[in-house]
Structure 1
Amino acid sequence: MNINLLILYYSRHGSVATMAKHIARGAQQVANTHVVIRQLPDASFTTEQTSDPIPESGYPYCELDDLAECDGLAIGSPSYFGSMAAPVKLFLDQTSTLWMSGQLIDKPACAFASASSMHGGHEMTLQSMMIPLLHHGMVWAGLPYKNKALINTKAGGTPYGVTHLASHTSDTGLSDDEIELCVAQGKRLAELATALKKRS
């Protein structure tokens, strides 16, 4: 049985994109897991896509079909005042057809985020992405404390999902604990997707 995981993100300065790659690495540790990574384009305040239809670099933009066909979802965003970025909200606001058809029910989901200060809204940003996915009937996959890096981290990391403390004085490098938690998040998502798909 093959599992298709979608890792979907919006990244402004590169930290969230780096997290997505480490989450993918963790997911690929689980047998028969196929990972698709997609990014989201910029959006204006008029809630319209403002990027070109094809990204200049990185992964392709996400389509609704990518979401409909996944067996599990990891969704990532920078933290903007304790909430997801506008491009992520815009994409989720366009998923009502999937909600009406119930295509995401009983599929696992997790979120990941990056904030530039320790109290910059890490957990609230994760929760802002969690709410619409719970409306879709998805099963939330946080990070249990069996992951020792969650206890030891001096940077990002929460039981709601993995986060990164992106200080504006440093580059987009993740700490060792943050990388370990990203990998653990991806592996857990793939394991849950496998278990839930077997039951369906």
Structure 2
Amino acid sequence: MTRILVLYYSSYGHVRDLAQAEAEGARSVPGTIVELRRIPETMAEEARRNAGFIEDETPEASPADLAHYDGIIFGTPTRFGMMAGQMKQFLDQAGGLWAQNALVGKVAAVFASTGSQHGGHEATLLSTQIPLMHFGMLIAGLPYSFAGQTARDGIIGGAPYGAGTIAGADGALQPTETDLAGAHFQGQHVARIASRLAASATNRDVA
């Protein structure tokens, strides 16, 4: 069985919605076990409530958990063209895994939510991939075989670097059907790649 982790941080629910679509896409690949986990919050509870952040009962992950999966899909809001601080702090705690080469060869992907079309969407996807490459992970994007990302009939999130959505300056926009389809496609794409790599490693071991 191939194990996939969809790991996200979400403030207002947009990234969580995409994460669920990513997980559904990964689960559609036979022989795949998928777990959905969230990044621990670093803000005080009162500050979260005052900011109107969502309540989220999804189980939290710890950095050590990452070593147990064949593929990991990371979801984050955009914060000034970069990943959210909560995601950065989580990755910063994974130095032990880096030292052990525990994530080398695992498949990774990124998806994101941004306030506006030009609010750092692609910068967030790309910059979030940087630490993952330092871990030795293999980056999977959102290939153009998902034709939805070239649609011209509305505001579409995502890029060749990963799935995404545009939330609007006030967060009122919700992921479109195309955004969710892109996330589903990416989850499926990652699971297929991870499955092939795992099968190849098994065949080498048998040989």
Equivalent positions of 1:21-60 (< 5 A) are: 21-44=20-43, 50=44, 57-60=56-59
- Number of aligned residue pairs: 192
Residue number in structure 1 paired with 2:166: 165
Residue number in structure 2 paired with 1:47: none
Equivalent positions of 1:43-192 (< 5 A) are: 43-44=42-43, 50=44, 57-152=56-151, 154-168=155-169, 171=172, 173-192=174-193
State the Cα distance separating 1:146 from its structure 2 match.
1.3
CA distance in 1, matches of 2:23, 2:61: 16
CA distance in 2, matches of 1:172, 1:141: 27
Residue number in structure 2 paired with 1:3: 2
Question: Which segments of 5 or more consecutive residues in structure 2 lack a partner in the other structure?
Answer: 46-54, 202-207
CA distance in 2, matches of 1:32, 1:124: 34
List structure 1 segments (4+ residues) > 3 angstroms apart after TM superposition.
168-172
Question: Which segments of 5 or more consecutive residues in structure 1 lack a partner in the other structure?
Answer: 45-49
Q: CA deviation digits over 1:45-75, x for unaligned, max 9?
A: xxxxx56xxxx63211111232110110100
Contact (CA 8 Å) 2:25, 2:184: kept in 1 or not? yes
CA distance in 2, matches of 1:146, 1:5: 22
**Identity of paired residues, percent?**
38
State the Cα distance separating 1:128 from its structure 2 match.
1.8
Q: CA deviation digits over 1:82-105, x for unaligned, max 9?
A: 000000000000101111111111
CA distance in 1, matches of 2:13, 2:57: 11
CA distance in 2, matches of 1:68, 1:187: 20
State the Cα RMSD in Å: 1.8
State the Cα distance separating 1:173 from its structure 2 match.
2.4
CA distance in 2, matches of 1:170, 1:102: 38
What amino acid is the match of 2:151? N
Please report the TM-score for the alignment, with normalisation by the length of structure 1.
0.90
CA distance in 1, matches of 2:13, 2:87: 15
Contact (CA 8 Å) 1:14, 1:172: kept in 2 or not? no
CA distance in 2, matches of 1:170, 1:122: 15
State the Cα distance separating 1:169 from its structure 2 match.
5.0
Residue number in structure 1 paired with 2:200: 199
CA distance in 1, matches of 2:108, 2:184: 15
Contact (CA 8 Å) 2:6, 2:19: kept in 1 or not? yes
